[in-house]
Chains A and B, each alone.
Chain A
Amino acid sequence: MENALKVKDLCAWFGNHQVLNNITMDIRRHAVTSVMGPSGCGKSTFIRCLNRMHDLTPGFRVAGEVLFDGRDIYSEKIDPVLLRRKVGMVFQQPNPFPRMSAFENVAVGLKFNGKKRSRSELAEAVEKSLRMAALWDELKDHLDRLGSSLSGGQQQRLCIARALAVEPEVLLMDEPCSALDPVSTAKIEELIEDLSDKYTIVVVTHNMQQAGRISDYVAFFLLGDLIEMDKAARIFTNPADKRTEEYITGRFG
């Protein structure tokens, strides 16, 4: 299958306020898809729909379909807990668990997902995840440090390692660099490119240079509508819609 996720006519409401209007898009497997648009365009709401993070938000409602492995994730047969193990998420603010060491932070998803693992199996999984998140070399001698005592960029990579440890297929990233300095941002961007060999990655960003650097595909959102989606190169050189062109040339947003 070429597509990891298929979104069909997705609408979303907070109470009576509609924030997404009939979004339809395919998200390509093992590629980086950026969701770009000005603040308030619904891009964060959109990716949170992809792993049902809104489930606990009072007053939130969706219509339409999100197909993952050919099944609608909003159907009653889907357990959102199992879904989130397949569709992981990294947040805007690095949010390592306070009062847990770096090691525990990465191990925690595995510890609580039912399967018993020996200490050495856990250690192995933690090392693998930290290596994938390009954090192992910096952290291997400090695994007992509190996750919250690391630098901002390290914290975000720790959160990526934590998400990777449960072996998801899709990684959703909600503005993963917006709280980071340029050096840390560059590291995360590099990491995203590396990870896209094995993972399907959806990144929300309002930064179009970033979208240009990391994406294979770009979706442009405006006021809850998907204006257009195409290969990154095409969106930035020859967008089909005038509004996309205005956004990327900085005439608004």
Chain B
Amino acid sequence: MHSIAFRRRAADRVTRVLFALSAIAVILPLFLIFFDLLWKGARELKWTLLADLPHPVGEPGGGIANGILGTLTIAGLAMAGGIPMAVMAGIYLAEYGRGKFASMVRFAVDMLAGVPSIIMGIFSYVLWVLPMKRFSAWAAASALAMIFIPIVVRTTEEMLKTVPASVREAALALGIERWKTTLFITVRTATAGIVTGILLAMARIIGETAPLLFTALGNQFWQTGLDQPIAAVPLQVFNYAISPYDDWHDKAWAGAVALIGMVLLISAGARYLTRVKK
């Protein structure tokens, strides 16, 4: 009897340690990446990084200010176009989507979410860059929107599905029309979750590089218009990283820190919005 109890306790401890180790292994890369970036980017991590335009090779200093503005511009455009469409499609799927058409939409949205981002870039290149004969913020934003939209459609749908049916019933029983129930009661109940989905999708598109290669192109200066090539942080990191110059390599690391900082900030915002209120 005694040995069985001992074996049981030992098995319990071993599995628990195994789970804990796995959990540590999962978060380890984040910390490794973050500290590695900080270490290697330290030399270029100054306030000028956030405030200055890039300097030419060999000239010390300079920053990625135009890239930060460019990234925010492209992501902002993608979201301005994408949020209404994606949220409304998500509402459709959650509130009205029974039947064949809805499952077809759901399937297509999942497919779209699985399309490699570089293909979005190529598609946007064909759609915008070729006919306009120039790279532009519009082209970049449309590529990012195609990545952004499917994520938001599905998170919106999932969040609305967590709203209990009793909430919709209560509203209908009060003599509130269905569309008002959907917009002002069901969606309102799920707002924090929907906003979180939007922020996480934003974090995702802010870091995208491949689709920007064919669309935004990059720009050494401040942006002049949405129909012009535009700078973006991931592009700057990419260009600095593949350059043959040591000081540009340092800037690539620093740019990467700025990028991951932006993403962390957005994710923290998402956490803040979904905190449990009393």
User: Size class of A's contact patch?
Assistant: 20 to 34
- Cβ of A101 to closest chain B Cβ, rounded Å: 12
Contact with A along B266-278 (1 / 0, CB 8 A): 0000000000011
Within 8 A of A (CB), among B150-205: 164, 166-167, 169-177, 180, 184-185, 188-189, 191-192
Which chain B residues lie closer than 8 Å to A100 at the CB level? 188
Task: Determine which of B164, B166, B172, B174 lies in contact with A163 in the assembled complex, contact meaning CB atoms within 8 Å.
Answer: B174
Within 8 A of B (CB), among A103-126: 108-109, 112-113
Contact across chains for A149 and B278 when beta carbons are under 8 A apart: yes
What total of A-B pairs shows CB separation below 8 Å? 70
- B98 is an interface residue with CB less than 8 A from chain A: yes
- A63 is an interface residue with CB less than 8 A from chain B: no
Within 8 A of A (CB), among B116-169: 164, 166-167, 169
Which chain B residues lie closer than 8 Å to A81 at the CB level? 175-177
- Cβ of B247 to closest chain A Cβ, rounded Å: 52
- Cβ of A38 to closest chain B Cβ, rounded Å: 23
- Cβ of B235 to closest chain A Cβ, rounded Å: 41
Which chain A residues lie closer than 8 Å to B175 at the CB level? 81-86, 88, 109, 113, 166
- A98 is an interface residue with CB less than 8 A from chain B: yes
Task: Determine which of A97, A146, A149, A166 lies in contact with B170 in the assembled complex, contact meaning CB atoms within 8 Å.
Answer: A97
Contact across chains for A58 and B98 when beta carbons are under 8 A apart: yes
- A19 is an interface residue with CB less than 8 A from chain B: no
Contact across chains for A108 and B185 when beta carbons are under 8 A apart: yes
A95-B164, A98-B167, A98-B189 are contacts. A85–B172 as well, Cβ < 8 Å?
A: no
> When chains A and B are docked, how far (Å) is the Cα of A53 from the Cα of B174?
11
> When chains A and B are docked, how far (Å) is the Cα of A83 from the Cα of B189?
25
Task: Determine which of B169, B173, B177 lies in contact with A88 in the assembled complex, contact meaning CB atoms within 8 Å.
Answer: B173
- The secondary structure that dominates the B interface is helix
Contact across chains for A89 and B98 when beta carbons are under 8 A apart: no
Contact across chains for A95 and B174 when beta carbons are under 8 A apart: no
- A183 is an interface residue with CB less than 8 A from chain B: no
Which chain A residues lie closer than 8 Å to B191 at the CB level? 99
Contact across chains for B172 and A95 when beta carbons are under 8 A apart: no
Within 8 A of B (CB), among A38-81: 51, 53, 56, 58, 81
Contact across chains for B166 and A91 when beta carbons are under 8 A apart: yes
- A93 is an interface residue with CB less than 8 A from chain B: yes
Contact across chains for B166 and A108 when beta carbons are under 8 A apart: no
Which chain B residues lie closer than 8 Å to A166 at the CB level? 174-175
Binding site for A on B (CB under 8 A): 98, 164, 166-167, 169-177, 180, 184-185, 188-189, 191-192, 277-278
16 contacts across the A-B interface (CB closer than 8 A): A53-B173, A81-B177, A84-B174, A85-B174, A88-B174, A95-B166, A97-B171, A99-B192, A108-B176, A112-B176, A112-B184, A113-B174, A146-B278, A149-B278, A163-B174, A166-B175
**Given A88-B174, A108-B185, A112-B174, list of 19 further CB < 8 A pairs?**
A53-B169, A53-B173, A84-B173, A85-B175, A86-B175, A88-B175, A89-B173, A91-B169, A91-B170, A95-B166, A97-B167, A99-B192, A108-B171, A109-B175, A112-B176, A146-B278, A163-B174, A166-B174, A166-B175
